[in-house]
Amino acid sequence: MTKPNRPAGIMTTAIHAGDHPDPATRASAPPIHMSSTFLSDDIAGFSAHDLTPDSPYTYTRWANPTVAGLEAKIAALQGTEACLATASGMAAASAIFFTFLSSGDHLIVSDVSYAGVAELARDTLPRMGVEVSTVNMSDPASVAQAIRPNTRLIHTESPVNPIGRLTDLAAISKLARQAGALLSCDATFASPLGMDTSALGVDLTMHSITKYIGGHGDAVGGAVAGSSELIGKMRAEASIHHGGILSPFNAWLIARGATTLPLRMKAHEAGAMAVAKWLEADPRVTRVIYPGLASHPQADLAARQMSNMSGMISFQVGSAADGERIAQLMIERLKVIHYAVSLGHHRSLIFWMGTDGLMETSFRLEGAQLADYRSFAGDGIFRLSVGLEDAEDLIADLDGALG
Ligand SMILES: *Cc1c(COP(=O)(O)O)cnc(C)c1O
């Protein structure tokens, strides 16, 4: 039941799932169906309520064969029945929130998350009448305490962007079940290779497919994987009514990237391990957080829950002023690594994230929650997405830029 949709090995799945020779031309590679509309044999209805899983293609905002191929591939990689692709990772998060939450409902969301999700949950949802609690998801007791009779959804992220803190998904999913709430997890940092989220009890697994799944930094997209029932509801609401669909062209690019995801994740993990060990041994670096290191505060949970540690490292270099100075050196000196936001690409990317600035704009934490954030991030971190270059070249690049 945990893998309803993965009959083959993971490499075979990544290549073949959702991808069939074109019956009309016998082309081996998948075509791109850049068509907004499809000829109809029927006098069919024109409402989201008329859509069934075996409806013929009608209009691309409802469903498109190229996008459907990518959705089938991601569902198979994540081991779920179904998947909905969206215009961006943020559109995937919005699809979850606006499909499953109504005015008067209560959402428990990780107190640290992708900044866009943090701001959507703190600013927009309350305006729509949704009650929101922000909770440190690394502590199941805090989640248990936050549950209310009207809690409908618990949304977490593991490892969490940008600090690499983990959520014990099996523990939180038990709490969600007891409360009759859904559990969604943004697993962008882990990729589908990093965690068996369905086996851990997650109902909806979300990805920014701009990151590892696409993997080449050329297309923005998002996805949510889950049961056919939940994904069907999201398709009616989020695609057909809210309209944030993925373009077939982006779906084609991202599906092409996804075919090599298992290979790439192995290489990201190996490269990140080598770079993390080098950083940890360098006296200019004061702290390194990587789930594959024994020094990660939740190394036991990482070993239990993650089957690939991915390529995301965060590290500190001292005070905020030190961080800003070295960020400037990186902008001037880095030759291989790009100083840029985003992550999960074949190219390595690095970006400075000062704690005070993030608190002001996005997370707004106080007291114990702020102290816990600082225990992972100090005054600020470099978020390093280790790409697929030779680890020695990345290390030489960092060595030259650390001042
Ligand atoms: C990038 C990212 C998002 C947002 O994705 P977009 O594709 O940029 O909209 C959401 N969550 C996480 C963890 C991310 O890294």
pLDDT in tens, 309-346: 999 999 999 999 999 999 999 999 999 999 999 999 99
220 CB near ligand 1 (under 6 Å): yes
380 and 354 in contact (C-beta within 8 Å)? yes
Closest CA to ligand 1's atom 9 = 89
Q: And the tokens for 158?
A: 């593991």
User: What is the mean pLDDT of the segment spanning 29-48?
Assistant: 86
C-alpha to C-alpha distance for 337 and 130, rounded to whole angstroms: 41
3-class DSSP assignment, residue 191: helix
**Ligand 1 atom nearest residue 157's Cα:** 13
**188 CA from centroid of ligand 1 (Å):** 7
**208 CA from centroid of ligand 1 (Å):** 5
Q: What is the residue whose two structure tokens read 């080598």?
A: 274
Q: Which residues contact 340 (CB under 8 A, 6 or more apart)?
A: 349, 350, 351
Q: What is the dihedral of CA 166, 169, 175, 178, to 10 degrees?
A: 170
Nearest C-alpha neighbor of 336 from the set 326, 346, 324, 323: 346
Cis peptide before 162 (omega within 30 of 0): yes
pLDDT of residue 5: 64
291 and 164 in contact (C-beta within 8 Å)? yes
Predicted confidence (pLDDT) at residue 4 exceeds the cutoff of 70: no
Closest CA to ligand 1's atom 8 = 89
**282 CA from centroid of ligand 1 (Å):** 30
**89 CA from centroid of ligand 1 (Å):** 5
Q: For the whole model, what pTM was predicted?
A: 0.96
205 CB near ligand 1 (under 6 Å): no
pLDDT digits (tens, 9 = 90+) for 12-22: 999 999 998 88
Q: Which residues contact 330 (CB under 8 A, 6 or more apart)?
A: 337, 339, 350, 352, 382, 401
**12 CA from centroid of ligand 1 (Å):** 27
**342 CA from centroid of ligand 1 (Å):** 8
**33 CA from centroid of ligand 1 (Å):** 26
Tell me which amino acid residue 82 is.
A
pLDDT of residue 197: 98
Strand partners, 312: 385
Confidence of residue 44 (pLDDT cuts 50, 70, 90): low
188 CB near ligand 1 (under 6 Å): yes
**24 CA from centroid of ligand 1 (Å):** 37
Q: In what order do the strands lie in the sheet with 82-86?
A: 82-86, 222-226, 204-208, 182-186, 151-157, 106-110, 131-135
208 CB near ligand 1 (under 6 Å): yes
**60 CA from centroid of ligand 1 (Å):** 24
23 and 82 in contact (C-beta within 8 Å)? no
Predicted confidence (pLDDT) at residue 2 exceeds the cutoff of 50: no
78 and 67 in contact (C-beta within 8 Å)? no
**207 CA from centroid of ligand 1 (Å):** 7
**Ligand 1 atom nearest residue 344's Cα:** 15
How far, in Å, are 104, 233, 262 from residue 213 at the CA level? 35, 24, 10
Confidence of residue 1 (pLDDT cuts 50, 70, 90): very low
pLDDT digits (tens, 9 = 90+) for 62-75: 999 999 999 999 99
pLDDT of residue 51: 73
User: What is the mean pLDDT of the segment spanning 83-91?
Assistant: 98
222 CB near ligand 1 (under 6 Å): yes
3-class DSSP assignment, residue 53: coil
Q: In what order do the strands lie in the sheet with 312-316?
A: 287-289, 312-316, 380-385, 349-354, 338-339
**Which domains can be identified in the chain, with CATH numbers?**
10-258 (3.40.640.10), 261-401 (3.90.1150.10)
185 CB near ligand 1 (under 6 Å): no
Q: And the tokens for 269?
A: 């993990």
**Residue 56 CB neighbour total at 10 angstroms:** 11
Q: And the tokens for 20?
A: 């069939």
**Of 256 and 6, the one with more pLDDT:** 256
Q: And the tokens for 284?
A: 């200019």
Q: DSSP letter at 310? A: -
C-alpha to C-alpha distance for 401 and 379, rounded to whole angstroms: 19
pLDDT digits (tens, 9 = 90+) for 233-282: 999 999 999 999 999 999 999 999 999 999 999 999 999 999 999 999 99
pLDDT of residue 41: 86
Q: Which residues contact 46 (CB under 8 A, 6 or more apart)?
A: none
**Ligand 1 atom nearest residue 189's Cα:** 13
pLDDT of residue 167: 98
How far, in Å, are 5, 54, 55, 57, 65 from residue 38 at the CA level? 28, 15, 12, 6, 11
Closest CA to ligand 1's atom 5 = 89
Q: And the tokens for 382?
A: 């470099």
User: What is the mean pLDDT of the segment spanning 78-87?
Assistant: 98
The per-residue pLDDT of the chain, averaged, comes to 95
86 CB near ligand 1 (under 6 Å): no
pLDDT digits (tens, 9 = 90+) for 135-189: 999 999 999 999 999 999 999 999 999 999 999 999 999 999 999 999 999 999 9
Q: Tell me the best of 114, 185, 206, 312 to mutate to test the pocket of ligand 1, counting ligand atoms within 8 Å of each CB and taking the most.
A: 114
pLDDT digits (tens, 9 = 90+) for 97-148: 999 999 999 999 999 999 999 999 999 999 999 999 999 999 999 999 999 9
Structural element, H or E, at residue 27? none
Q: And the tokens for 385?
A: 């997405």
Residues above pLDDT 70, as percent of the chain: 98
